Structure 1
């Protein structure tokens, strides 16, 4: 019995000791959880168990510092923006202390292992001015990624114009993005999907625009044009290859046939082919080549303004075939040698004139040119065109002198018969002291033959000699005769 009593006493003492220990632990827990959150507690998902109010506040502050917004953008671009970039800071409103004060420390044993889960509005501040700084640094706004949207438009695809569908591009609307960031920060959102939030600029027009389709058809019609200016030993062709260079883009993104560029083509063609009033190479009756100087009035001269308009309209209408420029002045032959094979040739030194028809010399006659002693020399060194034909003719400016055949070609000088001259006066040196008033005095039969062959616009070549193309020029205005 005594032994049993001792065991009971021992067990009783152990039980009392255990109770005292548990009571101490419980009392410690009461004391501890007056200043600490229950084990396993959370505020808005942030673990604060066993933390004081200050420690919990610090944990919330860290959570705010780690706050980030993920921007999902086009071109597989993702950008992560952090709270630090917006200078986010915790705003202590005393709520954490209030939660701790409301916590009943006597019930701490009932929250072992799971604690309490609080959902509160955590106050914080940020700097709105920092939003613009963040926008400036975002890749979405950099030239590498920010591609502008393109409206439906006409574009050249190889050799054809087609209507290209609109391109959405990837150009964010800065103000929309700014508002979306502010909204996300203030709501605590973690993701912004730029497409879902409609934060990109949109193209202006869709791809089913009938006007664009018509524009493409008109441009393709232009490309079908095939026009050739055939100038015997050279030609100038306009087709799809170079018409593309005549088409330019307009300010609104469309295309048009450029009249200015066509004018440039015509100008270049005129530069290469115009001969009016320019130097001419010429092979004389003896077979020697001389260079006639600029200053005559014979040759080709393209009317650039009218030819440009004509060509512009022809291309616009998709025309094909050979075409002729519109001229201010025409010569006989459209090849590089525009003098051709029918012309009059006069050599002052030899006092001789030849008339060629289709390459054959049909007239070879002595003549009398302008009186050198009086300064009434016949102009020389150039190619002139016959200005008129008259038979008979009266020279009113020279006392009513009458001739049967009159072919003027420069100023008041021309080819005519001279009934007042004897056969012996033609040729030789008559011209030096008793020459004409500047005209080419010609025997009647020769004048008649030349008159029958030469028409208005035909060339008359006058040179002093084969060694000296330009001779003494008249010193004053002369009259026919």
Structure 2
């Protein structure tokens, strides 16, 4: 009987002990992972969720990633270097909730997909610095291009594939590999590709154009002169850079300005044979012509790109240009201040001679070669007298010749014309003409006619 009681007591104690152990085990692992539990390949058994998260984060920070180009290691970094982040908390919380510590199950493996992220600014800064430093010792890719072959023309130079990394695309590629769990990242297909290859249509068209340009020459007819634009000169202006045909516009402008300086008449004095037979030097006025550099530059570039030989007159600005080589020509007005005379020539024939009154000394009629730029009837001329008072003089005919208010007009206030009268009764600078003669002058002198005053 006693033995039976002892046995009962022993069994009770044993079962009670098991119950205590069971309750203790369940209570202990209600806040810890069961023994043998692995999460993302890391053992977290007997760790609290917080302890497991710290362990996983430490492992993440210490994970090393290798960048390889074929067999060569070109760089390495850790998760910490690029600010790699994983939201472990949600997975760990879910696993802790799902485990049942009361079933004495002592092992579980969690292979959930990692929700990885980056400190974008840190990752890009670190990786771009690493890759740019590596690129310094690597060969740059080169686009296909066109090069000059001495003075003979141009030829195609094929593209060159280098081995520098395309930093932006490589960084994206690295991030994709990290997300896939790949710690050995192969970069040998991530090189910068040439942007322009030999079969590029635009490049081929430019080569064709340049080879046509290589045969271009031309000439300018300026007055009765010819200026040759040689093929070698044309080639010195043309080049191929940045995947386009370029012109040395500075050199072209210099050339065109030199031609203009050589032949133009604007702002230049002229040797003029007067009606009396004397040869005088007449200073520059507003009349004259020059090569329009910008307009001609545009046309010259187009002529060159057309690939054909050209022969023509350059673009001209101003007045008086003609093919005879003189700009005054044989139709003009001649005024002699000394003799107080005006002559009108049309097509080389003298059609009118008259006495005039020019500017009072001190208000001299300006010497030079001018041109009639307007014709008006019944105008009022306004200005200031020597004493500062204003005047308003009605005239029947008004033909301005410069940009200061000087011109030809009738003057009914003048009692006589010619001789020395101008020395005491001269105009404010205009050329006064008898009212009886001025209608003929107005009729004979067309717009644009040069007026030579000496």
TM-score normalized by structure 1? 0.50
Equivalent residue for 2:409? 416
SS in 2 for 1:367: strand
Does structure 1 conserve the Cα–Cα contact (< 8 Å) formed by 2:221 and 2:314? no
Task: Tell me the distance in 1 between the aligned counterparts of 2:444 and 2:364.
Answer: 26
Q: 1:395 to 1:255 in 2, by over 3 A?
A: closer
- 1:367 Cα deviation (Å)? 0.9
**Matching residue of 1:278:** 268
CA distance in 2, matches of 1:460, 1:275: 15
Provide Cα deviations, 1:2-52, integer angstroms capped at 9, x if missing partner: xxxxxxxxxxxxxxxxxxxxxxxxxxxxxxxxxxxxxxxxxxxxxxxxxxx
Distance 2:308 2:277 in 1: 45
SS of aligned partner of 2:401: strand
Which of residues 345, 367, 376 is equivalent to 1:390?
A: 376
Task: Tell me the CA shift for residue 432 of structure 1.
Answer: 0.7
Q: Is 1:333–1:339's contact at 8 Å kept on the other side of the alignment? A: no
| Structure 1 counterpart SS, 2:302 | helix
Aligned to 1:256: 246
Q: Secondary structure at the match of 1:404?
A: strand
User: Is 1:312 the counterpart of 2:301 in the alignment?
Assistant: yes
- Aligned pair 1:349/2:338, yes or no? yes
Partner of residue 362 from structure 1, selected from 348, 351, 357? 351
Answer yes or no: is the 8 Å Cα contact 2:395–2:409 preserved in 1: yes
TM alignment of 1:27-46, pairs within 5 A:
none
Q: Residue 423 of structure 2 is aligned with which of 407, 416, 432?
A: 432
Query: What is residue 300 of structure 1 aligned with on the other side?
Result: 289
- What is the alpha-carbon distance in structure 2 between the residues aligned to residue 434 and residue 336 of structure 1? 40
Structure 1 residues 416 and 399, CA gap change in structure 2 (3 angstroms): same
Do the aligned partners of residues 452 and 324 (structure 1) sit closer, same or farther apart at CA in structure 2, a change above 3 Å counting?
Answer: farther
Structure 1 residue 379 corresponds to structure 2 residue 366 = yes
Partner-residue secondary structure (3-state), 2:260: helix
CA RMSD of aligned residues (A): 3.6
> Once the 2 structures are TM-superposed, how far is the Cα of residue 368 of structure 1 from its aligned partner?
1.0
Question: In the alignment, which residue of structure 2 is the partner of 1:219?
Answer: 210
Give SS of 2:448's match. coil
Query: Which residue of 437, 458, 462 corresponds with 2:449?
Result: 458
Change (3 A) 1:359 1:241: farther
How far residue 352 of structure 1 moved from its aligned partner, in angstroms, is 0.8
Question: How big is the shift at 1:327?
Answer: 4.1
Is the partner of 2:239 in helix, strand or coil? strand
Return the alpha-carbon distance in structure 1 between the equivalents of residues 248 and 381 of structure 2.
53
Sort the Cα spacing of 1:159 and 1:363 in 2 relative to 1 into closer, same or farther, 3 A: farther
Aligned length: 278
* Structure 2 partner of 1:87: none
Is contact 1:257–1:316 with CA below 8 Å preserved after alignment? no
Q: Deviations over 1:450-469 (max 9, x none)?
A: 32232333221111xxxxxx
How far apart are 1:228 and its partner, in Å?
4.1
CA distance in 2, matches of 1:207, 1:321: 32
User: Structure 2: any 5+ residue segments left out of the alignment?
Assistant: 1-140, 161-193, 384-389
Match of 1:154 in 2: 146
Q: Does the 8 Å CA contact 1:363/1:446 hold for their aligned counterparts? A: no
Counterpart CA distance in 2 for 1:426 and 1:221 is 67
Structure 1 residue 346 displacement after superposition: 0.9
| TM-superposition CA deviations, 1:216-237 (whole Å, max 9, x none) | 2011333455554322211334
In 1, the alpha carbon distance for the partners of 2:210 and 2:444 equals 50
Q: Deviation of residue 289 (structure 1)?
A: 1.8
CA distance in 1, matches of 2:201, 2:321: 51
Residue 405 (1) aligns with residue 397 (2): yes
1:1-400 matches, cutoff 5 A: 154-156=146-148, 159-163=152-156, 210-223=201-214, 225=216, 227-238=218-229, 240-248=231-239, 250=241, 256-294=246-284, 296-318=285-307, 321-333=310-322, 335-372=324-361, 375-380=362-367, 382-397=368-383, 399-400=391-392
Q: For residues 139-181 of structure 1, give each alpha carbon's deviation from its aligned partner in whole angstroms, at most 9, with x where no partner exists.
A: xxxxxxxxxx9986535566553436789xxxxxxxxxxxxxx
- SS of 1:344's equivalent in the other structure is strand
Deviations 1:68-122 (A, max 9, x none): xxxxxxxxxxxxxxxxxxxxxxxxxxxxxxxxxxxxxxxxxxxxxxxxxxxxxxx
State the secondary structure of the residue aligned to 1:392: strand
Distance 1:453 1:221 in 2: 52
Q: Which residue of 2 aligns with 1:121?
A: none
SS of residue matched to 1:364:
strand
Deviation (angstroms), 1:271 = 1.7
Higher strand share: 2
**Deviates most, 334-343 or 150-159:** 150-159
Distance 2:440 2:214 in 1: 52
In 2, distance between residues paired with 1:357 and 1:332?
17
* Contact 1:416/1:441 (<8 A) preserved: yes
Match of 2:58 in 1: none
User: Unaligned regions of 5+ residues in structure 1, if any?
Assistant: 1-148, 168-202, 464-481
What TM-score does the superposition give when structure 2 sets the normalisation length? Answer: 0.53
